[in-house]
Amino acid sequence: MKDLTSTSFGILIGFVVPGMMGLLAVAYWLHPARAAFASFATSSSTFGITLLVLLISVGIGVQLSVIRWIVFERIVCRSPGIPDNYFKLLIDEGRRSAFRSVVDEHYRYHQFHGAMVIVFPVLYFGWGMEIFGVSTQALFASALACLAVWAALFFGAVDSYRKYVTRGRHMLRGGLHDERNEPEGKGKES
């Protein structure tokens, strides 16, 4: 049951929550999306509407994940990665279980923070225009708070990815102490 719970929580914070926030962000900019989201948010929401919103949220979350991957794993944090040849060590059930823990405890948070770095400005400015209307002074003043939250999400995404890589490498190496015991093959950084 623990694996199902960890996996479900990982999917929820890695894809569904950022996707839902992305859908909310779109709702500030597109009126048809706003109507659909408002219908979902009521207590009279049907199972069909709820399922549709969840499916759209997962779709948006997966798309955000691609952008997050490009920004963080290929541009910002490109040097630290887990070599492909380390993954052959996951044949061992103990290492596989330990690696799942590293993914759940670090990579899933990286997915959330990284996706929110992308969604947050769109959500914030849509919300700001809704709340403040044309008052650019109020919008600008609150933009400082937006920037602070955005920076926290950005550095949280970088930090959680680096912890995932560092701890994942360490866990996969296990008792390996020197170059002679490294997995065979050069492997490429992931």
Q: Write out pLDDT tens, residues 14-36.
A: 999 999 999 989 888 888 888 87
- Predicted pLDDT of residue 117: 93
Does the pLDDT of residue 101 top 60, yes or no? yes
pLDDT recorded at residue 84: 82
CA distance 62 to 181: 37
Residues in the chain: 190
The C-alpha atoms of residue 122 and residue 102 are separated, in whole angstroms, by 30
What value does the mean pLDDT of the chain take? Answer: 81
Whether residue 134 is predicted with pLDDT greater than 70 in this model: the reply is no
Question: What is 18-57 written as a DSSP string?
Answer: HHHHHHHHHHHH-HHHHHHHHHHTSTT--HHHHHHHHHHH
Residue 51: Cβ-neighbour burial (10 angstroms; 0-12, 13-18, 19+):
exposed
Q: What is the pLDDT of residue 177?
A: 44
Task: Answer for the pair 106, 153: CB distance below 8 angstroms, yes or no.
Answer: no
The model carries a pTM of 0.73
Q: Percentage of the chain with pLDDT > 70?
A: 83
Are 19 and 58 within 8 A, CB to CB? yes
Q: How crowded is residue 80: how many other Cβ atoms within 10 Å of its Cβ?
A: 15
pLDDT score recorded for residue 151: 92
Nearest Cα residue to 53 out of 35, 68, 69, 66:
35
What is the mean pLDDT of the segment spanning 170-176?
70
Q: Residue 39 above 50 pLDDT?
A: yes
Q: Rounded to an integer, what distance in angstroms lies between the CA atom of residue 120 and that of residue 113? A: 10
User: Is the pLDDT confidence value at 98 over 50?
Assistant: yes
- Among 117, 122, 107, smallest CA distance to 149 is for 117
Rounded average pLDDT over 167-175: 78
d(CA 58, CA 63): 9
Between 61 and 8, where is the model more confident?
61
